[in-house]
Amino acid sequence: MPPPPQPTPGPRLTRRRFLAASGAAAVAGGAALGVPGCRGLGGGGRGRVVIVGTGLAGLIAAYELERQHFDVVLLEARDRVGGRVRTAHRPFYRDQTAELGGEFIDANHRVLLRYVRRLGLDLVDLRGVGMNLDGAIYSEGEPSPRDEVVTPEVRAEIDRFHAEVDSLAGPVDPADPGRGPAARLDERSVADLLDELRLDPDARRLLERELRDEYTVEPERLSLLFHAALARLYAGTPDGDVEAFRIDGGNATMLDALIEEIDAKTDLEAPVNRIEQRPDGVRVYAETGREVDADFCIAAVPLPLLARIDFRPRLPARLAEAAERLQYGAATKVPLQYRRRFWVNEGLNGDAITDLPIGTTWDATARQVGATGILMTYASGDDGRRLAALTDSERITRAAQQMERVFPRARGKLEAGATAAWSDERYSLGSYAAYAPGQVTRYWRAIRHPVGRVYLAGEHCDAFIGYMEGAVRSGRRAARAIARRVG
């Protein structure tokens, strides 16, 4: 699981900085408009597939299906493609960007990295960036260098927690964690384990922040089995391979590249409200009045949105329950651009752990050119929900004020800010899936099987839950399953 804070300059303070206008062109003014770069229905012959949702999962599924000679139609509720991948160009100056949605790529995200290479994209290698600089910890009104807080004793306590998790994770199958004796871990929360270990208070506070940032829910609402499954998935991954890359030019360049490769017609601003299955196919209805007949459907939307679709016949009871109840977290990102990278002049790398509502910070423009720089603030869990309740301008103002408490030299240097609150975003309704106690054994398998001619895709359908890697793997898997079924 996430590497513990180091007493000397080391890896970033948390593993997952999941939640970051798309670089893909956004089209407005109609419900059935083609996305630039899409050239009408591709040549098929093996059948038609309608894909609901144009996040990474939906776009990868379309890309793979067309390579297998299927016709594809894409339906998207938003006025843009990309789902929870959003690269902010405006309002930032000097061609700098920040990720409002999916941000980092780990070195073990092998499927995503293969698509990056296949599409001819370049990576920004973040390994080693800022290693000669220090992080900061802000607690009870005082900023401190990381070394002063993460003493050898605190580090030992953090290591003790991770060692216990690794021990519990040993028998867990990350592809099917509810199988076998490890399933009993689903009865407990991660907070239960923290209580049991009676950790040093400073170590516990740091771990709680790490866990909250990782999953975007509070530790008491997080299944210990779910946490152990991700720990098992990352067993043997070096710290330096975590948060190793971003895509050069912003992660939305991958969306642009996929759009250029896909022939499918794309309807934007076309929320789907009904999916009917028939003996010989499916019919999908959009709120705009658009109807699409196809042989198969891939629903590549977050589970809370699946619950809003009228399925005929109804979804199996366990899957319908999962759509209604599976826990999603809250993450609110506020990137702030400053006219100078003042933190570097102070010998800091921009990483900070705080007890303020803004949560965690990091340099969003590492290895981007320019004297200006962008610091990301990342509020997760309950703090993320509270910030989401503010207007965009209120949120940016609040984040900037709190940033000045953590980094006093930020005062007077702010140029621009942007924000995204995923729990308040109507077509996401949360950051990503974060299983509560009891939910792994109850829902894991139900959301990973097709229902007749309907297949599910999205990060929630993969072992790499909450990562862009999970999204692309799920889209590829759904496309390949349909291709095998057709023969």
Query: What pLDDT sits at residue 177?
Result: 97
- In whole angstroms, give the CA distance from residue 481 to residue 487: 10
pLDDT band at residue 130 under the 50/70/90 scheme: confident
For residue 387, pLDDT over 80 is answered with: yes
pLDDT at 44 (0 to 100): 58
CATH 3.90.660.10 fits 87-246+329-424, yes or no: yes
Query: Where are the chain's structural domains?
Result: 48-85+251-326+434-486, 87-246+329-424
Which residue's structure tokens are 């400053």?
A: 338
Q: Could you tell me which residue, 42 or 424, shows the higher pLDDT?
A: 424
Residue type at 436 in one-letter notation: A
Q: What share of the chain in percent tops pLDDT 90?
A: 88
CA distance 431 to 429: 7
**Is 48-85+251-326+434-486's fold the same as 87-246+329-424's?**
no
What are the structure tokens assigned to 257, written together? 């590249």
Residue pLDDT, tens place only, 416-472: 999 999 999 999 999 999 999 999 999 999 999 999 999 999 999 999 999 999 999
CATH class, domain 48-85+251-326+434-486, is alpha beta
pLDDT of residue 424: 95
Of the pLDDT bands very low, low, confident and very high (cuts 50, 70, 90), residue 45 is confident
Would you say residue 247 has pLDDT above 70? yes
- Res. 6: pLDDT tops 50: no
- In sequence order, which residues have a C-beta less than 8 Å from that of residue 93 and are 6 or more positions away? 337, 372, 415, 416
- Neighbouring residues of 262: CB distance < 8 A, sequence distance ≥ 6: 37, 38, 42, 59, 62, 63, 66, 72, 74
Mean pLDDT of 247-263: 96
Is residue 139 within 8 A of residue 122, CB to CB? The reply is no
68-72, 142-146, 258-262, 349-353: segment of lowest average pLDDT? 142-146
Phi and psi of 281, rounded to 5°?
A: 165, -165
What mean pLDDT is predicted for residues 317-328?
98
Radius of gyration of the chain (CA): 22
